[in-house]
Amino acid sequence: MTERIDIYLNYNGNAAEAARFYSDAFGKNAQIMKFSEFPDADQMQGINLEKVGHAEIAFDNMNFMFSDGPGMELTPGNNYSLSFWTDDEETYHKIWRAFVEGGSTVHEEPAQSFFAQLYGRLVDPFGVSWLFLFDDTSNEKR
């Protein structure tokens, strides 16, 4: 079983600029996907499809991920999420249940997405936003 926690930041429309900055600073390439490249882009309303839907810089022990945070009112302090990923479905459900039973507010129930077999989003009782991902379709680090 493999597990990892990653950092996910949301920006107010300047994620592409942040991607260039972080790429230069760390000497790594950022992988960038615009909202227009999402499989369900034709269903997105009120979102600038040319903004960054997801960007990622891979490090040896984690991924630094970010986007332009569609539909979110962002202020410093609420523009991030911690991302928990596992390749073990039983572990995914066990930890998800622990968060929910512990008083977390669910914003997206676990469901299949184009990027994971299961994806769910919640805010824990302490105000921290979490993304939960289960995917065992690859042996590569996520």
CATH of the domain at 57: 3.10.180.10
**The pLDDT value given to residue 128:** 80
Host domain of residue 14: 3-134
Which percentage of the chain shows pLDDT scores above 90? 51
Residue 41 lies in a domain: yes
Residue 142 lies in a domain: no
pLDDT for 73 beyond 90? no
d(CA 35, CA 140): 24
**pLDDT tens-digit series, residues 85-106:** 999 999 999 999 999 999 999 9
Residue type, 2: T
Residue type, 98: A
21 CA to centre of own chain:
20
d(CA 121, CA 138): 22
Residue 42 lies in a domain: yes
120 CA to centre of own chain:
10
Residue 19 lies in a domain: yes
Q: How many domains are contained in the chain?
A: 1
The whole-model pTM stands at 0.69
**pLDDT tens-digit series, residues 38-61:** 999 999 888 899 999 999 999 888
- pLDDT, greater one: 1 or 50: 50
**pLDDT tens-digit series, residues 12-26:** 888 898 898 889 878
Residue 141 lies in a domain: no
Residue 72 lies in a domain: yes
Residue 122 lies in a domain: yes
Calculated CA dihedral for residues 14, 105, 99, 121, nearest 10 degrees:
-40
